[in-house]
Amino acid sequence: MKFYGEELSSRLFLGTAQYPSPAILQDAIKVSRAEVITVSLRRETTGGTGAAFWDLLRDLGCRILPNTAGCHSVQEAVTTAQMAREIFGTPWIKLEVIGHGDSLQPDVFGLVEAAKILTDDGFQVFPYTTDDLVVGEKLIDAGCEVLMPWGAPIGSGQGLRNPDALRAMRAHFPDVPLVVDAGIGRPSDAAEAMELGMDAVLLNTAVAKAGDPVQMARAMAGAVDAGRDGFQADPMERRDMAVPSTPVLGLAEFGPEFGGEFE
């Protein structure tokens, strides 16, 4: 699987916020086998630097995908992206432009505008977007080579609220890497996204806020693998009626002479 020309073998991207401790975060990332981790710049800095925490993340040897979490305007997001490029030395940026404080729904107009500014400036943008096809097209026009549609609102753990829209997205963008970002709560949600043919899932809270984040990270890794295998294996179609899985022809007949009781 390639994202902006980078070959990745893991289809699980993991966020790094809200873990009980950096030690648990490190263990969770290791067992998840994630190769891409997201890092929020805004909440981790407040004027100073998060140098010590970032060093911990760098030590993991994962590819870092900085994000613009919590940015509510194009200008804010662009400035944060530029800071992130300087600090982490990567052109990758997960672009979030939040449109609504309560639902944390993306402002898709600001998102397209910021994506254009950033790709023109040499960034490789991973836009956090809705499952709207037209917005997806505008983001591709703006230079994005990856789309990250939501499954459900950030941190809600509701799973995939609109699988049909994601299926339509898959059909509409057959060659664009699609990453379900936000809303994954349980391993079954991650597996469902992968079964729909998504290329990867990005999650954070589901692991960080689990009672045992390390065990949940392992579960998510297994679910992503299972979902991907399931998609590739071409699952059977659903049917309304039962179909016996054992053959009904050629069964031995047991008449009365064998002790069977027939009327």
If one asks whether residue 103 binds another protein (CB under 8 A), the answer comes out as no
Q: Binding marks (x or -) toward another protein, 224..243, rule CB under 8 A? A: --------------------
* Neighbour-count burial for 52-89, b at 16+ CB within 10 Å, e otherwise: eebeebeebebbbbbbbbebeebebbbebbeebbebbe
Catalytic residue of the set 94, 116, 138, 209: 94
If one asks whether residue 22 binds another protein (CB under 8 A), the answer comes out as yes
If one asks whether residue 51 binds another protein (CB under 8 A), the answer comes out as yes
Burial class (CB in 10 A: 0-12, 13-18, 19+), 2: exposed
Of 1, 6, 23, 75, the one binding another protein (CB under 8 A) is: 23
If one asks whether residue 101 binds another protein (CB under 8 A), the answer comes out as no
Minimum Å gap between C-beta 225 and another protein is 28
Contact (CB, 8 A) for 84 and 66: yes
Distances in Å between the alpha carbon of 139 and those of 105, 154, 173, 237?
Answer: 16, 20, 12, 33
Minimum CB distance to another protein smaller for 1 or for 51 = 51
- Closest among 150, 145, 208 to 173, alpha carbons compared: 145
Q: Give the whole-angstrom CA distance, residue 111 versus residue 128.
A: 8
Enter the tokens of residue 121. Answer: 């400036």
Please give the single-letter amino acid code of residue 52. A
If one asks whether residue 44 binds another protein (CB under 8 A), the answer comes out as yes
If one asks whether residue 222 binds another protein (CB under 8 A), the answer comes out as no
If one asks whether residue 53 binds another protein (CB under 8 A), the answer comes out as yes
Of 8, 24, 31, 165, the one binding another protein (CB under 8 A) is: 24
Is residue 67 annotated as involved in ligand binding? no
If one asks whether residue 47 binds another protein (CB under 8 A), the answer comes out as yes
CA 37 to chain centre: 11
Judge whether 138 counts as a catalytic residue: no
CA 208 to chain centre: 15
Is residue 182 annotated as involved in ligand binding? yes
Which residues would be at the binding site for another protein (CB under 8 A)? 20-24, 26, 43-53, 56, 155, 209, 211
Residues comprising the binding site for 1-deoxy-D-xylulose 5-phosphate? 155, 182-183, 204-205
